[in-house]
Amino acid sequence: MISGSYQMTGCDLTLVSIPERKSLLLKGTATHGIGLPMTEHRKLVALQDAAGCHSPQLFKGVAGDLIARKIPSFLRLDRMASSVAPLALCASAVAIRENSKAFGRVSMAVAVNVSRFESVTMAPPDPILGVSEAFKADTSDAKLNLGVGAYRTEELQPYVLNVVRKAENLMLERGENKEYLPIEGLAAFNKVTADLLFGANNTVIQEGKVATVQSLSGTGSLRLAAAFIQRYFLDAKVLISSPTWGNHKNIFNDARVPWSEYRYYDPRTVGLDFDGMLADIKAAPDGSFVLLHGCAHNPTGIDPTPEQWNKLADIIQDKNHIPFFDVAYQGFASGSLDTDAYSVRLFVERGLELLVAQSYSKNLGLYAERIGAINVVCSSSDAAARVKSQLKRLARPMYSNPPVHGARIVANVVGDATLFNEWKQEMELMAGRIKNVRQRLFDYLSQKDKSGKDWSFILKQIGMFSFTGLNKAQSEHMTNKWHVYMTKDGRISLAGLSLSKCEYLADAIIDSFHNVG
């Protein structure tokens, strides 16, 4: 047995053998600096010689040198700081001696296998996409994935829109090539996407005041805009709603853009804290960016009314703030593309300069195609041209140029009157199915919950999500007991629910709400 404790000058190490892996785990701490006295070096060299190891550079330097030599491994240094690697090696040599007794002659160099990535810690699962991974691992028949916002049919199957299939067939017939797109993306896509958002007759479009750059769906567009803010607005911060889509904070953190939150959700009413929202936006430094969900706020499903949007515009204008809209659900909230663009168009009408990140993941079901755009509305066409040139400059080293497939689908659907009309009908169907399950869920909750709790907030929410008001423990109970997968903030995706599962879901919610603290 070769486990044991080895004390040598300069280190105090414990060697543990893991016979099934034929390896030795070395745990230890240095008791003094990184160097070893020459006498110890010599002892080690002698030990190595005895073990048949030849590694002239062994004691030369820091761990980096040693690792770079790609020494075959049978020893793993556990979480040992690179500065103590030379000390660790002295125990390695002991290990070699011992090992050669246990496993026969060792004809390799001292095997130090400290990964250069030793300091990299395990990242937690993503709060939204990680839910789908957990769902897949569950073998229960009752399981329900209400985590990620992805539309499913009544049979809970993924759905590819008919108009998308038609556009793809057209693309095949035309035999389009796979050449690189320009950095700003497909021109036909950029045109139709801005038209769809602002309205083709909008003066900002006609006067060339919009810089539109195709990017990697909503997320990539937000990230590109965040990089733009970081480069050109050094002192500005972004105000984001509390709560918001989980990835917003990551995006601004990674772009090194400071952010703070404004109040949005009132847990007492399960509604909008409009006064809090106004007060926080007013209190922010002038010229801040205000991130707003254009429609179907994620995760709450609570949107300001038209009147409230007007008041918000007043304050944002007074404060010289820059609105930054995230439009991930145009047409998916109300079923109408124009209704869902109300907020953005209102701010544009007032002459504000603003940013809009767009996504086609949900409304065209193009999740994996990564198709969307960043639009910057400027007060002059000249400014728009300069902004666009800088967005391109930022995109080029990040991902060079965007993918073409989704862009062509959008250009074909939105740019063709027949397909466009068919799309609107399909979108109404999808939005309608979500409204139906929302109603059915409410009906079951109201019938079955005898406590008198008012569940009508569910009907007031809009879009693919419902914010149930369940806390973390209750949400976990939904998963652990009922196999209902959802995010821990109490959000459920109604787009992943069928009419036939509404009763089961209502039972799960009532149980979790009343029986878990």
- Catalytic residue annotation: 245, 326, 362
Q: How far is the CB of 202 from ligand PLA (least distance, A)?
A: 23
Strands 144-145 and 484-485: what pairing? Answer: parallel
Window of 359-367, 396-404, 416-424, 434-442 that interacts with ligand PLA by CB under 6 A: 359-367
CA atoms of 314 and 303, how far apart (whole Å):
17
Nearest C-alpha neighbor of 197 from the set 328, 344, 305, 313: 344
98 binds ligand PLA (CB under 6 A): no
Q: Which is nearer to ligand PLA, 495 or 509 (CB)?
A: 495
Q: How far is the CB of 325 from ligand PLA (least distance, A)?
A: 10
211 binds ligand PLA (CB under 6 A): no
Question: Are the C-beta atoms of residues 460 and 296 closer than 8 Å to each other?
Answer: no
219 binds ligand PLA (CB under 6 A): yes
3-state class percentages of the chain: helix first, strand second, coil last, to nearest 5: 45, 15, 40
Question: Are the C-beta atoms of residues 469 and 478 closer than 8 Å to each other?
Answer: no
The footprint of ligand PLA on this chain (CB under 6 A) covers a number of residues equal to 16
Window of 8-16, 22-30, 213-221, 345-353 that interacts with ligand PLA by CB under 6 A: 213-221
190 binds ligand PLA (CB under 6 A): no
Q: Which is nearer to ligand PLA, 148 or 204 (CB)?
A: 148
Helix (H) or strand (E) holding 191: helix 187-198
238 binds ligand PLA (CB under 6 A): no
Alpha carbon separation from 443 to 465, 505, 506, 514 (Å, rounded): 17, 12, 9, 18
Question: Are the C-beta atoms of residues 490 and 469 closer than 8 Å to each other?
Answer: yes
Question: Are the C-beta atoms of residues 239 and 280 closer than 8 Å to each other?
Answer: yes
359 binds ligand PLA (CB under 6 A): yes
> 310 by DSSP, 3-state: which?
helix
461 binds ligand PLA (CB under 6 A): no
148 binds ligand PLA (CB under 6 A): yes
Residues 407-446 contacting ligand PLA, CB under 6 A:
none
Tokens encoding 264: 């949005």
Alpha carbon separation from 395 to 254, 363, 389, 391 (Å, rounded): 15, 25, 10, 6
183 binds ligand PLA (CB under 6 A): no
Sequence-distant (6+) residues with CB within 8 A of 31 are 10, 11, 12
Q: Give me the 318-357 binding string for ligand PLA, x by CB under 6 A, dash otherwise.
A: --------x-x-----------------------------
240 binds ligand PLA (CB under 6 A): no
CA atoms of 50 and 441, how far apart (whole Å):
76
Of the candidates 335, 372, 463, 490, which one interacts with ligand PLA according to CB under 6 A? Answer: 372
Beta strands in 226-370 (DSSP E): 238-242, 259-263, 265-266, 271-272, 289-293, 322-327, 354-359
Q: How far is the CB of 220 from ligand PLA (least distance, A)?
A: 7
> 117 by DSSP, 3-state: which?
coil
375 binds ligand PLA (CB under 6 A): no
Tokens encoding 295: 């429609």
Window of 106-114, 217-225, 252-260, 264-272 that interacts with ligand PLA by CB under 6 A: 217-225
Q: How far is the CB of 179 from ligand PLA (least distance, A)?
A: 25
466 binds ligand PLA (CB under 6 A): no
Q: Which is nearer to ligand PLA, 92 or 298 (CB)?
A: 298
Q: Which is nearer to ligand PLA, 298 or 512 (CB)?
A: 298
Q: How far is the CB of 193 from ligand PLA (least distance, A)?
A: 13
Task: Summarize as ranges the residues that interact with ligand PLA (CB under 6 A).
Answer: 128, 148-149, 217-219, 245, 247, 293, 298, 326, 328, 359, 361, 367, 372
